[in-house]
Chains A and B, each alone.
Chain A
Amino acid sequence: MSSEPVSTEKLPVTVLTGYLGAGKTTLLNRILSEPHGKKYAVIVNEFGEIGIDNELVVGADEEVFEMNNGCICCTVRGDLIRIIEGLMRRKGKFDAIIVETTGLADPAPVAQTFFVDENVGRRTKLDAVVTVADAKWLKDRLKDAPEAKNQIAFADVILLNKTDLVTDAELREVEARIRAINPYAKLHRTQRSQIPLDEILGRNAFDLDRILDIEPEFLHVSEHDHDHDHAHGHDHGHDHSHDHGGLKHYHDEDMQSFSLRTDKPLSADKFFPWIQKLVAEDGPAILRCKGILNFKDDPDRFVFQGVHMILDGDHQRAWKDGEKRDSKLVFIGRNLPEDKIRKGFDTVFA
């Protein structure tokens, strides 16, 4: 589609989210002050919170607008487009970009910005969405703050912070709650946001390999245990949990995820119309989808990801000799039409 010449290497962008007080600012201060030999341009939502004077710290206003492209959930951060274009003036002065969002922000417009604006997409790539969560209070926030739940659902990496403030049982409980929403994110337990920075930066999480290789145990469990009754009342604290060998397993009320996998080659002519129709119809429910695809007669792996109605994909690399050629897809969303998606997927084999 684009007639622009292929550009040089793209700068990785890490999106840092987390509910108020979870420990984002502590983490940012660590990134900016620790000697790690890398320079980061940091786009912050509130000047002054960062106690470090750095010419590469830029204030943003979280200005979201709707694109006039007939896509109702296609909202974009205009301020990010402007700031990233400005930062590109100083290309070579930094290694990567970190975007901090406010505690109440929906990560979708941030992620969509990287797919929607051609100029931004040509020069940068979304590396990972990192969510900092408060081990003590997340459980409550998941009940009363939809933003907090979105941030967990969107994450590629989750820092479960302040683990020193909770008991082991509480920790397992909150981890199970997180897994009920997003079993695919890499989860780290931290205190005072202490974590080796290479665990959160330069992850290439959108490379998808690692995420899709994680097949959590409880996912298998849930897959052959799917006939329990969801139709109970609507007061809080009733979520059922079942214990499988000590691992608590929850189902979240309105946020779900599931994965699809097949070793049958897919037909590109069938897959793309199907997924495009799916996100056009059910995009508002699909917070994120991602996948690695094995198309018939295609020597390359095809990777794609999507946020709501926006899809982005490309050939990634050749399948290696002896590598298992299968297709894997993950969907995370609110009230996902799982049956419809599963049935639809069955029709796109070559």
Chain B
Amino acid sequence: MTDTQPNTPSVVERTRAVSAGAPVVAAHFLGRTAVLVLGEEAVVLVADKGDETRLPVHGGGILSAATNGICVVTGGDDGKVFATDARGESRLVATDAKRRWIDHVAAGPDGAVAWSAGKQAFVAAGKAEPRAIEVQSTVGGLSFAPKGVRLAVAHYNGVSMWFPNAQAAPDVLEWKGSHHHVAFSPNGQFVVTAMQEPALHGWRIVDAKHMRMSGYSARVRSFGWTVGGKWLATAGSEQLVLWPFQSKEGPMGKQPKMFAAFAVRATTVACHPKQEVVAVGYADGTVLLVRTEDGAEVLGKGPGAGPVTALGWDTAGTLLAFGTEAGEAGVIDLG
């Protein structure tokens, strides 16, 4: 357990602070404009030159957010799904008929948007009417496959793999327990969920072969694949845990790599879009940039008032936006 070394290189001075003033639940980029999604009502757009625009979007708490690079999709406890673009235009995508909470959203290829309310998941693509399915219990997470319109819907005891344009019932990848956040590997061969227990569960989609990834000290709330899908970078422990996904077997029978050991837990991770680098946010507000090859660290942000809850890179990998539960936020320009 080592805290940041005194000689750790730092990019802190390249940070432009953003006055979020409220818990930040997600950080995305539309071009070079950062979009910080707040826990309640608003998103804050931070333009390249630093102009901040606070947009009231939802009439209540914002429960989820996702992006396709063109707009940021948000779901709220007002039962609404909005898509907000870089100019600050918010478009109402859907309103739940029963005004239920929109627990999860996902953004897919070709502008497809998915959301869930209770046990129902919906997909809207193009001009067609949204399609819906009902799964066995409340949806815990949603994710589009990297290609084609296929949606992974996490719930109790597994994940339903749904082709919204097909009539057939979805295949269910089964594993007992409560599954939350779900994501496909970039090559589309694996799907991984974060469970209620401090563990991840994965399946090789072609044969539903199981992968258990455990040993965390807490529930894993954030994970993602590094560029090209070589490593699965995960929070949930007092270090960055990287599971190897280079082979067709995934991480089975292999040990994870562990870097950036810290006194407090990693809460959020975001993988660099071009390089083998992971931004890691910790429970004390620290952000480190960690190279997956050798674990070299660069300090992105020093400790603050609350845990890091949002991290996001722009597609070029030169800008990193962060936000914390205490409302600290900023954009680091590495260019």
The interface of chain A, by Cβ under 8 A from chain B, is 2-5, 47, 55, 58-59, 61, 63, 65-69, 76, 78-79, 81-83, 86-90, 117-119
Query: Once the chains bind, are B265 and A86 in contact (CB under 8 Å)?
Result: no
Tell me the complex Cα distance, A63–B196, Å.
13
Binary contact track B188-204/A, C-beta < 8 Å → 1, others 0? 00000001110100000
Query: Once the chains bind, are B23 and A4 in contact (CB under 8 Å)?
Result: no
Query: Once the chains bind, are A86 and B178 in contact (CB under 8 Å)?
Result: no
Query: Once the chains bind, are B61 and A89 in contact (CB under 8 Å)?
Result: yes
- Interface size classification for chain B: 35 or more
Q: Give the Cβ gap from A85 to chain B, nearest Cβ, in Å.
A: 8
Query: Once the chains bind, are B100 and A55 in contact (CB under 8 Å)?
Result: no
Residues of A within 8 A of B264 (CB): 3-5
Q: Give the Cβ gap from B78 to chain A, nearest Cβ, in Å.
A: 8
SS class, residues of chain A in contact with chain B: mixed
Tell me the complex Cα distance, A58–B100, Å.
8
The chain B residue sitting closest to A92, CB to CB, is B40
Partner pick for A86 among B63, B219, B238, B284, CB 8 A cutoff: B63
Query: Once the chains bind, are B176 and A66 in contact (CB under 8 Å)?
Result: yes
29 contacts between A and B (CB under 8 A): A3-B217, A3-B263, A3-B265, A3-B283, A5-B284, A5-B307, A55-B77, A61-B138, A65-B137, A65-B157, A65-B177, A65-B178, A65-B196, A66-B176, A67-B177, A68-B199, A78-B138, A78-B178, A78-B196, A82-B140, A86-B101, A89-B40, A89-B60, A89-B62, A89-B77, A90-B40, A90-B77, A117-B219, A118-B218
Query: Once the chains bind, are A68 and B103 in contact (CB under 8 Å)?
Result: no
* A3-B265, A4-B307 known; A118 vs B219 contact (CB < 8 Å): yes
The chain A residue sitting closest to B218, CB to CB, is A118
Residues of A within 8 A of B60 (CB): 55, 89-90
Query: Once the chains bind, are B63 and A89 in contact (CB under 8 Å)?
Result: yes
The chain A residue sitting closest to B39, CB to CB, is A89
Residues of B within 8 A of A66 (CB): 176-177
Q: Give the Cβ gap from B306 to chain A, nearest Cβ, in Å.
A: 8
The chain A residue sitting closest to B157, CB to CB, is A65
Q: Give the Cβ gap from A55 to chain B, nearest Cβ, in Å.
A: 7
Residues of B within 8 A of A69 (CB): 197
The chain A residue sitting closest to B176, CB to CB, is A68
Tell me the complex Cα distance, A58–B103, Å.
12
B119 at the interface (CB under 8 A from A): yes
Partner pick for A68 among B138, B195, B283, CB 8 A cutoff: B195
Tell me the complex Cα distance, A272–B156, Å.
34
B118 at the interface (CB under 8 A from A): yes
Binary contact track B116-155/A, C-beta < 8 Å → 1, others 0? 0011000000000000000001101000000000000000
